[in-house]
Chain A
């Protein structure tokens, strides 16, 4: 899997601390070389945020429960 572009990575890195258990695991990789599972995890977090955004959009539209 290709590494994420720098701006996307910077954004993604802001997301995972929302899950403390995950954060404590990923923070163990402090060097610049990261294993593939790090990138898969970060990239997955990036897209989970889309679900949260959708929920906000639906609430804004008055349809979310």
Chain B
């Protein structure tokens, strides 16, 4: 007997939300374990990740449809990678790389139409910008993203700027970390509330005795 539709919808939100929570946990741990001398771009990269994860968390909590969209984007990511490499190119790589590719292909083949319907894949990716707009956080996202991005990858500013002293670098890293952890806490507050809501709904929707 198939599960009730409401339970399936709740499940996809719980799965996506839980995986987002795991990703947030990872970046928070990395940030708090950083030592003096950790390059600024590493802190900025984690900060940028947390910003995106915070947007996705609110977006996916908002509706099961949003959570499903995010989950389907994972399949698109996998398909993108698999379609990138031709059979001819595969003959030129090391056996280890070839095995890695075959493992990804096998993982994709295991997904059934219940996991992702072919018609779902015909639509475009949902960008994090689109998600931010959908939850009314576009300005917040764009401003925060700009700050983190300036330091997360080799922008002209990062390449051309005079190398600051270690003290300045450390204080900048600490400032970025503080903002990033605040963003993580926002996601955490939403995730905890959502977890309680899932538990309440699971009790209502699961096995009817």
- A interface residues (Cβ-Cβ under 8 A, vs B): 1, 19, 21-22, 25-26, 28-29, 35-41, 43-55, 57-58, 60-65
B46 to chain A, nearest CB (A): 12
Q: What are the residues of chain A within 8 A of B18 when measuring CB–CB?
A: 46-51
Q: Most B CB atoms within 10 A — which of A43, A51, A60?
A: A51
* Given A22-B203, A37-B206, A47-B15: A61 touches B32 (CB 8 Å cut-off): yes
Q: Which B-chain residue is minimally distant from A35 (CB atoms)?
A: B1
Could you tell me the dominant secondary structure of chain A's interface residues?
A: helix
Closest CB in chain B relative to A21 CB, distance in Å: 5
| Residues of chain B at interface, number, CB under 8 A | 42
Q: Decide: A38 and B202 in contact? CB cutoff 8 A.
A: no
- Closest B residue to A20 by beta carbon equals B203
B residues at A contact (CB < 8 Å): 1-4, 7-8, 10-11, 14-15, 17-19, 21-22, 24-25, 28-29, 31-32, 114, 181-182, 184-185, 187-189, 191-192, 194-195, 198-199, 202-203, 205-209
- From the candidates B15, B182, B187, B195, name the one contacting A43 in the complex (CB within 8 A): B15
Evaluate contact between B209 and A44: CB separation under 8 angstroms. Answer: no
CB distance from B67 to the nearest CB of A (A): 11
Contact indicator A41/B207 (Cβ below 8 Å): yes
Q: Which residue of B lies closest to A37 (CB)?
A: B3
A55 near B192 (CB under 8 angstroms)?
A: yes
B1 / chain A contacts, CB cutoff of 8 Å: 35-37
Interface centre among A21, A35, A41, A43 (most CB of B within 10 A): A41
Q: With contacts A28-B209, A40-B206 known, what are 8 further pairs, Cβ within 8 A?
A: A28-B207, A37-B7, A37-B205, A39-B3, A41-B202, A44-B198, A54-B22, A58-B181
